[in-house]
Chains A and B, each alone.
Chain A
Amino acid sequence: MSRWRVARGARAARAAIVAVLVLATGCGKSPAVTVAPAPASPALDRSKLDHTSLLLRGRLVDDAEWQRWTARPSPLEEIVDEILADPFLARDIAPALIFRNNLLRAARTLGMDGYQLVSSDIGGEPVFHLGQGCKSEDTAPIKPWWDPAHPVKACKQVVRETVWHVTLPGGTVQTCNVKLSTPKRLPETPCGCGPNLVRCLPPDYVPTLIAQAAEELRATTAYVASTDQPLARLFTMNETWRQRDMELFYLRELVNSQEIADPAPLFEAAMSWPADGKLAPRADAAPGQHAGILTAPQIMYHVFDLRQRMRIIYEAMWCSGESAPGARPEDILRLRTPTLSTLNEGWRELASRPICTTCHARLDYGMQFFGGYRAPEGIAYHYVPSATGERGPLYAADIDDPRGTAELTPRGFAEIATGQPEFARCMARDVAEYVFGARTSPATIERLARSEKPTELRLRALMRLAILEFLHCDDCRSPGGELAASSSTPSPAAAPRLTHLLGNHCTDCHNAEASIANFERPLDPTTRLRVMDQAVFGRMPPGEALPPAARQAFVADVLGAEPIGSVRQSPTTLILGYADPPAALPLMGVRQYLRGLASGHAGLNDLNTLEMALAGRDNVLTPNHIALTAVEASRSCQGVEPARRADCIQAALNGIWGSVEAIRRAP
């Protein structure tokens, strides 16, 4: 098996360490440490199955399972399928893999704006108004869009059912449901709350909408994963899984979009919505409006800026979120427009300009498909069908990399985007990095990506392939096993020289014929450092990080030093330790395991740390990760008598980081 991540440690030493790795039992049950039996067959390695189980179920393999699997040797595939059947995969892992917690969590705010209603006692009963009350005789009963079964009273002058637009002082015509049209911003506005108060929000309602918007993203992803549908469906299907208030929110948008004069029946029909939500289609204001989860409020109203919104979308669908330096003040000034991010007058030029094009061709042409949401002409807080054009192109790497054309609608975008190899590689990468972490090889990602057509890739099948590859790979270990493995620093004599490294990895592009720096010539010391820096930390070569051995060789040759000693003592140790950092289990699995020891369940939303938003390759044993793990381990042992608590904590940590006793006993 040609994997570059295997270049570590002598096989014999590794086998010895793996063999003595022991497992912890649950603290709540028994804080004692038990030694696992040796693997029953070469195919079954308990430490690797434990790692698999932690990843996919948030718990270790239990003794009964182990005995069952080893009593009658079971095919590895059967065991993997059994582990994959756990609901943890669809419920928790799938949403976190694709969207991560910076999107999944309930946002502080979403752009779900409306006129904020105030409730006052008028004539002995609560009456809604927009800051200035009214007399009792000027109130009217209204079925509010958020709960038409329970009419409320509102001041008549705040309703203005027939007004949908306003002409602003500058002559611009705006729809009534934008901030600039509100009575707060524009006291002379003719706009009001509209029929069934659709433009208005009752006090304290926004948090409910925000929570349900987050849940819509999680639950819809979980639905696609649990029903084993292609992942592309998540971005192309009309339906989402949502709760009642989210359905009401979609209807409210539809009413604003189509200026429906009497929307009460729509809202009333939604009253029978199940409390836990259901999978249901969404009404399109125009063909192609809805594209899976892309047009859910959690995505569409996440940020104000259209380009940043596209970045979020591409990060989820194409994993294209790497840093992109290169902008210069003169480039931006030369666009001759002061408006770069909102009206985007200069977007076509930006999308084709050298350097800029590597992001802006993708972003700026992509955002034309979503112009109906907060359309430039109206900045409406609803979908504006007229803002969309006819057809438009989509680009990938740059302006010379067109990927087809489609209707300029979200659905048009999703259909092109999910058919691309970038989509397949992204889904494959999410899964592969979840399993292999920082040690994921490009070859694994490619194998997974090519296992099916991009639009047919399914989470369970991808995960099955990745897990089986992990279990069949002799040199793959859990993060704990890897930490304890011995070093295999190549000797300086064996390390290739810089010219050789440059020849292998750089001079295909950096050569005498190219317009960029020529690495076929001897490099000055500053350039050598720069090359090392860019190669070691993965900026170069573009699109494919170097294998660890090559990174190590770059450092050894340029800095002339081996990684010896601690990060304090050796710059080389720090450089290589950051370039190829200590891997950690995803925090989600760690917490589920530790909570499980105390018979609890770890939710996605019960921590606030940016480590919940990292790609799999960035799961690193940072001080933060260590501290959060340790605190949770301590918590899992709260019920244990004080004299045994330290052992209990260590046993809990053994399940994640490998047995400390085994590390002590290692040769």
Chain B
Amino acid sequence: MPSHQARHARDGRRGPRRRELLVGLAAGLVSLLRPRGVRGQARAEVRTATPPPRYWIHVVMTGGLDAVWTTDPKTLADVKAGVDVPYRPDQILTAGDLRLGPLFEPLLPVANRLTIVNGVLVRTANHYTGIEQCARLRTMTTMRTPAAFDIIGAHRDSQALASVTLNASLRQAHTAGFFGTSAEGDFGGGASVLAEIDSLDAEARHELARVLGDRARALQRLGSPTPARAVAIDNMQQVAAFLARTAELPAFELTPWLEGPFKGQDDVGGFVSDLQRAVWLIEHDLAATLTVFAGNFFWDSHYRNSISQSAITPVFAAALERFFHALSSRSNRHGALDSQTGVILTTELGRMPYLNAFNGKDHFPQSPVIVAAPGLVAGRQFGGTGKEMEALPISTRTGRVVTSGERLVLDDLGHTVLRRAGIDPARYGFPGRELAFLAKDAL
């Protein structure tokens, strides 16, 4: 292990409070050293007790995770007759306050970092709308609606790219700030943008960075820009910065990640490489936000639900455990990655509580979300579902089921993430409510 990584691993063992203090000090120093203009641009709009995460990573389990197998385990006594509960009560796992379904067992080592919110409405039962919404962390969208991550990315500090998307399989993931890859062969047999850039040597990248920088400056000098030109200038600057930075870096290299019973399954679902790439991108300060579409719709279990979900979910959970381990063991000049990174896990739609004619489960317009971010509570479980797994009304203050409450919507998650990023969602017309129960200082 390189010395700086070993040091941070040791810091990690000293406990989060001390590490956060050190990171806070480091961040303060960096902020003082930063040129005045940059500090002004990165100014947060909302004051928060804990500094906003520098990076955000959103992982979407594509196809539709089955909550009963993972985030919302039930016993037969909890549900109506016919609702599928495909395991014994003693197979339900507990980790502190968390109750996990058997397929999330590999997540147990990191469960204390996670907060689960069950019963979030996504207002759709089709993948296309679901992906368009998940990409934006809100509902009622069009292809023009900026993603929550586009907004956060616009407030980036010195990261090259505002927002990176990995493994986007549907065009609905596209926004005016799009930069990213697609699953192999999804939109053609050739290379992705990252492979295209990797094909250039350092000199060519620097050359292109200069050319793009020149053009962006020329456009800037035209004076008061139209909003479209302002977006174009920012997009050119992002690419120029990315080319220049990566010219100085060794190429990203995939390493075997999974261990124990999952050893050798790094290729399953394709997410191991994307999660590693995501860590690499933030480790090198190349992106402020990332969205990883995991699994190429492997979770879409219309046929043989238990077999399909069991084939993908534990491997994914094992990869996720490695991902959290990577965040806590790596750092960059801004500090340890886990103290600067907000992680969100969603799935674009959920699965029906009942089995269909093929022992599969069709789509359900509600899904769980998982968050792990500095400043948010960890190791807790919120939300609630009824006897047919249907979302129940909850209090946005406590996160507990109350008859006077309202059901949560994906927009509430996006809204809360923006707040945690130090941005006032209302200034962007971003819908939703703040989920106060997720804030660490709320408890």
A→B interface (CB under 8 Å):
8, 100-102, 105-108, 304-305, 307-308, 311, 321-333, 338-343, 359, 482-489, 529-530, 532-534, 536-539, 555, 558-559, 563-583, 604-614, 618, 620-624, 626-628, 630-634, 642, 645-646, 649-650, 653, 657, 660, 663-664, 666
Contact = CB atoms under 8 A, between A and B. Distances in A.
Given A338-B361, A605-B189, A609-B187, 13 more contacts: A311-B128, A323-B132, A328-B123, A329-B391, A338-B352, A340-B125, A532-B429, A574-B154, A609-B181, A611-B178, A626-B235, A649-B207, A666-B222
Given A102-B186, A575-B429, A608-B189, A332 B128 contact: no
B297 to A, nearest CB: 10
A329 B176 contact: no
Interface stretch (B52-60, B164-172, B258-266, B335-343): B164-172
B168 to A, nearest CB: 5
Give the one of B132, B199, B218 with max A CB within 10 A: B218
A572 B146 CA distance: 12
B188 A605 contact: yes
A567 B174 CA distance: 18
B234 A610 contact: no
Q: Say whether chain B's binding surface is mostly helix, strand, loop, or mixed.
A: loop
Given A329-B366, A575-B429, A631-B197, A581 B176 contact: yes
B11 interface: no
Contact of B41 (A568, A622, A628): A568
8 contacts: A105-B187, A106-B189, A323-B132, A323-B142, A568-B41, A580-B227, A582-B228, A623-B177
A462 B127 CA distance: 33
A146 to B, nearest CB: 23
B332 interface: no
Given A563-B230, A622-B176, A623-B161, A613 B222 contact: no
Q: Which 6 A-B pairs have the closest CB atoms?
A: A338-B354, A577-B227, A577-B231, A576-B227, A339-B356, A582-B232
A322 B218 contact: no
Contacts of B436: none
B200 to A, nearest CB: 6
Given A328-B121, A559-B427, A577-B227, A486 B222 contact: yes
A609 B354 contact: no
Nearest to B168: A610
B391 to A, nearest CB: 6
Nearest to A102: B187
B35 interface: no
B321 interface: no
B142 A322 contact: yes
B184 A608 contact: yes
Contacts of A567: 154, 230-231, 234
A578 B364 contact: no
Given A577-B176, A581-B228, A324 B187 contact: no
B379 to A, nearest CB: 27
Given A324-B129, A532-B429, A580-B227, A623 B179 contact: yes
B171 A568 contact: no
B190 A607 contact: yes
A483 B200 contact: no
Contacts of B180: 624
Interface in B345-401: 352-358, 360-366, 388-391
A343 B302 CA distance: 11
Contacts of A660: 214-215, 218
Contacts of A630: 208, 211-212, 239, 243
Contact of A623 (B41, B124, B238, B427): B238
Nearest to B207: A646
A324 B124 contact: yes
B154 A609 contact: no
Contacts of A580: 227-228
Given A333-B390, A581-B176, A630-B239, A339 B357 contact: yes
Contacts of B113: none
A342 B142 contact: no
B121 A581 contact: no
Give the one of B141, B200, B225 with max A CB within 10 A: B225
Interface residues of B, number: 114
A325 B141 CA distance: 8
A333 B388 contact: yes
Contacts of A650: 211, 214-215
Contacts of B127: 308
A607 B185 contact: no
A484 B222 contact: yes
Give the one of B42, B223, B234, B430 with max A CB within 10 A: B234
A310 to B, nearest CB: 11
Contacts of A533: 140, 145, 429-431
B10 interface: no
B126 A626 contact: no
B231 A609 contact: no
Nearest to A613: B171
B36 interface: no
Nearest to B173: A610
A634 B365 contact: no
Contacts of B190: 605-608
B274 interface: no
B173 A332 contact: no
B133 interface: yes
A610 to B, nearest CB: 5
A537 B207 contact: no
Contacts of B303: 304
A642 B207 CA distance: 10
B176 A608 contact: no
Contacts of B390: 329-330, 333
A307 B208 CA distance: 45
Contact of A574 (B150, B197, B212): B150
Contacts of B112: none
Give the one of B180, B214, B352, B430 with max A CB within 10 A: B352
Contacts of A538: 142, 144
B184 A108 contact: yes
B221 A664 contact: yes
A525 B321 CA distance: 43
B154 A108 contact: no
Nearest to A179: B303
B196 interface: yes
B204 interface: yes
B186 A608 contact: yes
Contacts of B239: 623, 626-627, 630
B224 A537 contact: no
Given A328-B123, A537-B145, A626-B235, A342 B358 contact: yes
A162 to B, nearest CB: 29
Contacts of B364: 329, 332
B207 A645 contact: yes
B95 interface: no
B268 interface: no
Nearest to B362: A340
B175 interface: yes
Contacts of B211: 630, 646, 649-650, 653
Nearest to B226: A487
Contact of B145 (A305, A578, A611, A628): A578
A663 to B, nearest CB: 4
Contacts of A568: 41-42, 154-156, 234
A634 B187 CA distance: 23
Give the one of B203, B233, B242, B391 with max A CB within 10 A: B233
B193 interface: yes
B146 A530 contact: no
Given A574-B150, A610-B171, A624-B178, A327 B185 contact: no
B191 interface: yes
Contacts of B357: 338-339, 342-343
Give the one of B197, B228, B365 with max A CB within 10 A: B228
A529 B355 contact: no
A637 to B, nearest CB: 9
